[in-house]
Amino acid sequence: MQQRRPVHASSLTSWVKQYNQRPCLLTLLLSSLAVAALCSFLLPPAQFSTKGRTAESMSNFSVDSPLVEADDLAAPRKLLTWGEARAKALKTAALLTQQETYDLVHGFLAPANKSDPEQKQLSGYYVGNTKPLKRLGIPALKMQDSHNGFRASDPGEAGTTTQWPCVLALASSWDDALVQEVAAAIGREFRGKGANVMLGPAVNVHRVSRGGRNFEFLSGEDPFLGARLTRAFVLGVQGEGIMTVVKQFAFNEQETNRKFIDAGVSDETAWELYYPPFQAAIEAGAAAVMCSFNQVNGTHACSSRNLLIRDLKDKMGFNGFVMSDWEATHSTGAIASGLDVEMPNSHWFTQERLLQGSYQIAVVEAAIRVLTSVFRLRLDTDTSCEPPCMKERGSNVRTAAHLHLARKAATAGIVLLRNDGILPLNSNSIKSLAIMGLGANSNDSSNAGSGSAYAGGGSSHVVSPNVVTPLAGIRDRAGKAGVMVRHYLGNHVYTAQQLAAQVDVVVVVGATVTAEGWDRRNLSLDDETNAIIDGVCNTKPTIVLLETSGAVLTPWRDRVSAVANLFHAGEQTGNAWASLLFGDAEPKGRLPITFPATEVDTLLPSIEAGVRYSEGAFTSYRSPTFKAAYAFGHGLSYTHFSFDRPQLAVGTNCSAALCVRILITNVVAAQAPKWCRPICTSRGHGCRTPHFSCVASAGRGCCSAARSKT
């Protein structure tokens, strides 16, 4: 069954506001102008502030972890087809005992560590575990968080895995090849740690700008972007023989009262805006989907037959299994409504309860789905440890190649929002700079709950003792350029102004930190950073570097020389910033979300039990009333382009109803990105979303836009 395609918009606010009531043809012609304009770029709360977490203050993070010399590179794993895997699962299911069948539909809690109350479970186990069926060669499922890297949760394990850029930083690259490359590398680290299931990626489309987990959501604010990147991520991870568990399905777009809210969403809004990334994951072969805590239209997501059977398994064609979020199962009957595995243990899916409810057919079908995913990824052919996996969990899987890739990915995620020409810095004219802001030298937090500006907080937080702080990265690169660096890490405006008067340029690092379990109180920078920016921007040219968990307000944006944003970018953050400032890398990131002009230009987390998605698809850039400081898709580079006039392509040169071609030429010497990223909006009137293709060379490129027949 074909569903409505998602809508998309240009980052040009003035154009977005004009097209709402236009007929299809005029909308497309306006879209061609947006294509040209976009191709010109060519593509928390105070208690969790960064105060006191400076590099000097964290003595337990003072020594870099060693690196493994070589990466375990191999060709992507050849997977079975779903049909082949299902046939094998049916044969195996016929051999299962009753107990083995029930063991497949729930996890188990790892043994408690009685000798160390602070460590909740014994080492060598995983966040989620199922029992192996040794008689039949079925391995245990060993599940670990998450899409930002393997979360080291055993004592002494911190620093043995890479702290990668968060998936929202990856989304800022708009580069599905890079996303797949990073995902594959994360998959290899999971495999090296003995795990075979990643509890991710999270692909929800942002709805609430203050969302506490927005940095975890790969889709940003756009279903089409989310679908493209989700497909790449799933292929990358599963090519390494690691199951992906795509989450959170569905409508888990806020943390406030996340376990209790009832999301009221129409089918039209679901399919147009929130489902496409999940659909893409299924088309890419995702092994599992995680259902969320909240209710959807009056029924818990993990008990919703409409959600799990009608939409996910039937309409989307999902062949894998559905697992619950931790303790998100609310009834034994959920197994008949599409839930296949209860996690983290069996409370509702006990053998006694399932037998009493006469759910035998549903139990067998759930077991077959689990086996199907196991066989499709050929996990039964792996030489895999059975928990406790002490050797694997104690191994070091950080490699030099992974650090290089982490730096590449972090740099690709930088979005240059404003530049009056000060960047890249010219060491012939700029001899000194001052780095300011509490975030400039904050280190990572060993407390996943509070998080950090490098990795956010919550279950996806990968603790790293090895972060390159902005101060360290910029100071090292500046030294090579002969530029003197001074710094002030406090929040007293007068002191900052005194230092600013003594240097040529000021760099202010501002951050926001949030975590799973709570939404942000506002969209301002943490640690009174706005006051520092206001205090120094009229004294000397000021560059603002933002390390954020989502959208932020930028009330000083017109008074500073440059602004760049980098969503939580992992342990190579400081080196990425240095590459931007000194022109070692061409900025090519684009915002996957909107930075609003004011708080009024956003949807707020609801404190009501019933959360009505009454705005439909009109969130973010799709809203006819929200104003943007920096719109979805915005991003500058260090070069400039000229365009020919848009031309209609007809006849054999166009395979769709209507095509538009634009010739783009790089007119300066700076290296440009090798692709352009046109974005187009189609709203109402039965119009389908245009499809785009671009070809670019060193100096010239061509973008084509084609509209499908309605």
Active-site residue set: 325
Residues in the chain: 710
CA distance 504 to 539: 10
CA distance 667 to 428: 24
CA distance 573 to 426: 22
* 142 Cβ contact list (under 8 Å, min separation 6): 126, 128, 129, 194, 195, 196, 197, 384, 387, 389
Q: How far is CA 101 from the centre of its chain?
A: 35
63: exposed, middle or buried (Cβ count in 10 Å: 0-12, 13-18, 19+):
exposed
Three-point CA angle 453, 459, 460, nearest 5°? 55
CA distance 30 to 27: 5
Coil/strand/helix, residue 574: helix
Q: Long-range pairs for 81-86 at CB < 8 Å and ≥24 separation? A: 81/376, 82/285, 82/319, 82/372, 82/376, 84/375, 84/376, 85/372, 85/373, 85/375, 85/376, 86/319, 86/368, 86/372
Q: Residue 526: phi, psi to the nearest 5?
A: -75, 165
Question: Would you give the DSSP letter of residue 40?
Answer: T
**Which sign, positive or negative, has the C-alpha torsion 680, 686, 691, 692?**
negative
> Is the separation of the CB atoms in 646 and 658 below 8 Å?
no
Three-point CA angle 453, 459, 465, nearest 5°? 50
Crossing angle (nearest 10°) for helices 470-481 and 573-581: 40
Question: Residue 420 corresponds to which tokens in the numbers above?
Answer: 């009056």
Task: Check whether the bond before 112 is cis (ω within 30° of 0).
Answer: no
Residue among 197, 138, 190 at smallest CA distance from 382: 138
CA distance 144 to 187: 11
Coil/strand/helix, residue 701: strand
Question: Residue 633 corresponds to which tokens in the numbers above?
Answer: 């898709």
CA distance 473 to 467: 10
Residue among 450, 453, 575 at smallest CA distance from 511: 453
Work out the number of other CB atoms within 10 angstroms of the CB of residue 161: 26
